[in-house]
Amino acid sequence: MKKKKKTTASTLVGKIAPEVLSFTAGKDALLDHVLIEPDCIGTAAHVTMLAEVSDVLSRVEVGKIIGELVSIMRRSRSGKFKIALRDQDVHLAVEKALSKALGATGRKVHTARSRNDQVALDLRLYAREEILCAITEATTLVDVLLAFARKNAAVPMVGRTHMQPAMPSSVGVWASAHAESLIDDLSLLRGAYTYCGKSPLGSAAGYGVPMPVDRERTARLLGFDAAHWNVLAAANSRGKTESVVLSAMEQVMLSLSRLAEDLVVYCAPEFGYFVLPPGYCTGSSIMPQKANPDVPELVRARASSVAACCVAVNGVVAGLPGGYSRDLQETKEPFLNGVSITRSCLGVLGSLVAGLHVDKEALRAGFTPGVFAADAALRLVAKGVPFRDAYRQVKADPPGTAGVSPDQVVASRRVPGGPCDPDIGAMRDASKEASRFARRERKRYHNSVSRLLGVRYPDLA
């Protein structure tokens, strides 16, 4: 193999062979677009603090920098600020824009920081907003499921195990069970939000700087609970943070995938319990009759995609030596993807369930005699037969079901959490509380940013 002369690209921080630049920074130049605003906001906090604790920047300079950062954010929104491959990433792109606009003042902004703490910060700010949005979307889906459950509380539905008919149940139980699963996931999303509550800003390359930077101050400016205690812990939190957020998203997707599977199965004509809303099925290119449940199928499959995002991140983090390694860059794409997939699945299922048609006759038709066998055994128990004997008796001699009505059986199950009283009120309260939490936290963050930038955020007006 002949070595050929290569022109190397020159960036703010050194010279890199073009194919190496493309190999190392290729995807960042694309992926980092969603990080432009967090990067600008973080820089605003950093320079604000810097002016307070040192002479490196004057207040006037800080004003100019923040003005320019807001301008970059606006240009980014209108598609006029792009990250070029030769900039490597959002951090150098923003620093270059500042240097171009402000000269020496711009070349000062990287004082006491490193791209390592910048990207950790940007991802954390991004993660915090996304988690809050996901909580809001999950509570919307919960509310839709609970409304659906209440409306169909007494509609009989065969309860199944092993996909086989098992015992009498109702559409209300089915829908509110999926709601409760999501409510449980909300606590995990909030746990992830808490995990993201420490600011890594000021840890620089993971070892701090010989300057009196005030990490608690920038943490407060950005709405964090606190700064990391230890600078190296801040660096080591990169990767793990992505993993923790994705794990919570994965749990949401696991819940959604089971709802999706139920929808796929129950929309098959052999069941026919549900009919998807018009516009939510897609056709076949060869079979004119087709109306396929593509949306639930994709939700089901995307649970695997998000799970794979976790695997990707965890594989990178496991066994990595302490401090930043470039490997961590590979956590960015699965992190952004996994979060975005989860949010879109929450959104689309909300609309889908809201428009779901229930075929009551098909649901009633699903009640085969065996569905009532356990009830029969328990009636014998009520007469004093030990359960295991009653079980054997019913197994040997299944009772007839003449005159048994699914509707009556379901209506008679008045136990808490049962068909006609799925504990919807408590669930709705839980959902509301989570929804309020998300709204309040976003408001708090937006207020912090507005104060920091001196313009209203997020509208930048």
Judged by CB under 8 A, the chain residues 265 through 294 that form the site for its own copies are 265, 267-271, 278-294
Give the closest residue to 166 by CA, choosing from 398, 365, 370, 364: 370
Q: Contact, 352 vs 296, CB < 8 A? A: yes
Q: Residues with Cβ < 8 Å from 46, sequence gap 6 or more?
A: 109, 112, 113, 201, 202, 218
Report the nearest approach of its own copies to the CB of residue 82 (Å). 18
Site for its own copies in 80-139 (CB under 8 A): 88, 91-92, 95, 99, 104-105, 107-116
215: exposed, middle or buried (Cβ count in 10 Å: 0-12, 13-18, 19+): buried
Kindly tell me which of 286 and 461 has the beta carbon lying closer to its own copies. Answer: 286
Q: Kindly write out the interface string for residues 398-437 of this chain, putting x where it contacts its own copies by CB under 8 A and - elsewhere.
A: x----------x--xx-xxxx---xx--xx----------
CA dihedral (62, 63, 67, 73) positive or negative: positive
Site for its own copies in 9-48 (CB under 8 A): 12-17, 19-20, 23-24
The SS3 call for residue 202 is coil
Among 71, 314, 401, 450, binds its own copies (CB under 8 A): 314
Q: Does 242 bind its own copies (CB under 8 A)?
A: no
Q: Does 323 bind its own copies (CB under 8 A)?
A: yes
Q: Kindly write out the interface string for residues 362-391 of this chain, putting x where it contacts its own copies by CB under 8 A and - elsewhere.
A: ----x-xxxx-xxxxxx--xx---xxxx-x
Among 3, 400, 459, 461, binds its own copies (CB under 8 A): 3
Among 101, 133, 209, 411, binds its own copies (CB under 8 A): 209
Q: Does 76 bind its own copies (CB under 8 A)?
A: no
Choice among 284, 304, 325, 405 that is catalytic: 284
Q: Does 184 bind its own copies (CB under 8 A)?
A: yes
Identify the residue whose tokens are 């990490």. 215
Identify the residue whose tokens are 């969603």. 34
**What string of DSSP letters covers 96-114?**
HHHHHHHTHHHHTTTTT--
H or E segment and range at residue 292:
none
Instruction: List the structure tokens of 164.
Output: 């086989």
Among 127, 131, 153, 227, binds its own copies (CB under 8 A): 227
Report the nearest approach of its own copies to the CB of residue 316 (Å). 5
Q: Does 309 bind its own copies (CB under 8 A)?
A: yes
Instruction: List the structure tokens of 286.
Output: 């060869």
Q: Catalytic: 33?
A: no
Report the nearest approach of its own copies to the CB of residue 365 (Å). 10
DSSP3 helix / strand / coil % (the chain, rounded to 5): 65, 5, 30
Among 63, 71, 86, 216, binds its own copies (CB under 8 A): 216
Q: Contact, 332 vs 28, CB < 8 A? A: yes
Q: Catalytic: 162?
A: yes
Q: Does 52 bind its own copies (CB under 8 A)?
A: no
- Pairing of the two strands 226-227 and 198-199: parallel
Catalytic residues: 162, 284
